[in-house]
Structure 1
Amino acid sequence: MTAPTTSPTGTFTRESAKCMGPYTVSQDPALYLSAVEFSDIPEMVRILNINQDVYNGSALFQYPYLESHAQDRIQKAHDTVTAIGINTHWAMRATPQGPLIGWAHLHFDHYDEKHPQPVHPVTGELLTVADIGYWLSPEHTGKGFAARVGKFLVNEIALKEMGCDIVRAVSYTANGPSRKVAERSGMELELECKSILIPKLGIWRDICTYAVHKDPATKSIIKTDYDY
């Protein structure tokens, strides 16, 4: 399988899209993943304004977090479903239809002449590669929710359902909690330290990457070209 491409007509529907959920991540404690909806906006805004944890740990989130930010992010999630027929953004919930308590997403890598799609070093087949991300409400930290979701996202959704060959996660090197989630998700440290520009801060920050490889033969393929 190669990374999905945008539909020429953009006619995929949410009813027929893959990976919409809901997924049961854990029953004790109860934890579910389902597609993000516009009805999640109020709770998303409330949670992301409790403190600056997500802002400080992410290269993209703003603080204060506005309704327009949530609207744009969820619209992009819906647009992805329409474009490729696969849902790649999920809300963490304590019940299947309950309020959002966190977020998980997957982004397929995109390629061009400067950044060609990687191939398997033995078979020569094109590889499907994705990056995952996650955040959790500060009201629910310390319960192992993020690690459970990370492990489920990697193994059950990315590797099994989406057929990814390599799954990665990026963290600031100083963000210990985020790095622990990646490790508890079954990922191994791939890139120990790289300095990149964080546009929202206007400064350079050190990042590290973790990865899971379906085939150990692809571990020689290390991504270094990160930017935001």
Structure 2
Amino acid sequence: MTAATTPPAGSYTRESAKCMGPYTVCTDPALYLSAVEFSDIPEMVRILNINQDVYNGSALFQYPYLESHAQDRIQTAHETVSAIGINTHWAMRTTPHGPLIGWAHLHFDHYDEKHPQPVHPATGVPLVVADIGYWLSPEHTGKGFAARVGRFLVEEIAMKDMGCDIVRAVSYVENWPSRKVAERSGMELELASKSILIPKLGAMRDICTYAVHKDPATKSIIKLDYDY
């Protein structure tokens, strides 16, 4: 679009936004991704209170997980669609519009004077960089769902649909299930260990990062500034 035809920020609609889905991740077993909705709140709250796996593996999620937490998270997802015209939060479902069984999201990196946007080392072209995250109901683990979603999110949505040059995932160093999902998504270990503050814990934890690069020439670009 030209500047004259680009909608002003905050004017995009869910009907016209990109990457809303539903996406067919696989058919055997059946797995789909579609935009999260406020109607997903009850199931989201139920799943995230089954046990503390997501709480223990995430820097952001709380336990017990309240309806207000889900409301805020989905409100943020809807506001992102309105602001940029691209959906970046999806529910995993076993039918195109069925109940939520898990979650996947993508966050574009944001830049400022202190954290300038990285550029391609050979061409100087600014790079589009994003982080992804995911969680799955303990009722559906062991089926390969998370790894399938991770690879689909990287290859089909982030790189093909959104034009990302680099896609990363962050895990606690000791969270081997999450790390294996990143590896099975086609990512390679980029940063073996870095200690950062996790505000919800009020403590430092060691994280590691995985990354996939559209162009191998950008592998020298390593992200070091993580905060929550």
TM-score normalized by the length of structure 1? 0.97
* Per-residue deviation, 1:8: 4.2
- 2:28 and 2:75 map into 1 onto residues whose CA distance is 32
- 1:84 and 1:19 map into 2 onto residues whose CA distance is 12
Structure 1 counterpart of 2:79: 79
Secondary structure, aligned partner of 1:80 = helix
Structure 2 counterpart of 1:226: 226
- 1:68 and 1:76 map into 2 onto residues whose CA distance is 12
Secondary structure, aligned partner of 2:219 = helix
One-letter amino acid of the counterpart of residue 156, structure 1: E
Do structure 1's residue 203 and structure 2's residue 203 form an aligned pair?
A: yes
- 1:149 and 1:25 map into 2 onto residues whose CA distance is 7
Secondary structure, aligned partner of 1:70 = helix
Structure 2 counterpart of 1:46: 46
Structure 1 counterpart of 2:105: 105
Secondary structure, aligned partner of 2:205 = strand
- 1:188 and 1:129 map into 2 onto residues whose CA distance is 16
When residues 79 and 55 of structure 1 are mapped into structure 2, their CA distance, relative to the original with a 3 A threshold, is: same
- 2:58 and 2:149 map into 1 onto residues whose CA distance is 18
* Per-residue deviation, 1:9: 3.8
Instruction: Give unpaired runs (5+ residues) of structure 1.
Output: 1-6
Structure 2 counterpart of 1:21: 21
One-letter amino acid of the counterpart of residue 198, structure 1: I
One-letter amino acid of the counterpart of residue 146, structure 2: A
Superposition RMSD on alpha carbons, in Å?
1.0
Do structure 1's residue 176 and structure 2's residue 176 form an aligned pair?
A: yes
Q: How does 1:54-203 map to 2 (within 5 A)?
A: 54-203=54-203
Structure 2 counterpart of 1:3: none
Moved over 2 A (4+): none
Secondary structure, aligned partner of 2:208 = strand
String of CA shifts for 1:119-171, please: whole Å, max 9, x gaps. Answer: 00000000000000000000001110000000000000000000000000000
Secondary structure, aligned partner of 1:143 = coil
- 2:63 and 2:94 map into 1 onto residues whose CA distance is 25
String of CA shifts for 1:20-49, please: whole Å, max 9, x gaps. Answer: 000000000000000000000000000000
CA contact (8 A) 2:35 2:89 kept: yes
One-letter amino acid of the counterpart of residue 25, structure 2: V
Secondary structure, aligned partner of 1:16 = coil
Count, aligned residues: 223
Percent of pairs with identical residues: 88
* Per-residue deviation, 1:114: 0.2
Structure 2 counterpart of 1:4: none
Secondary structure, aligned partner of 1:79 = helix
Secondary structure, aligned partner of 2:106 = strand
Secondary structure, aligned partner of 2:13 = coil
CA contact (8 A) 2:196 2:205 kept: yes
TM-score normalized by the length of structure 2? 0.97
CA contact (8 A) 2:9 2:84 kept: no
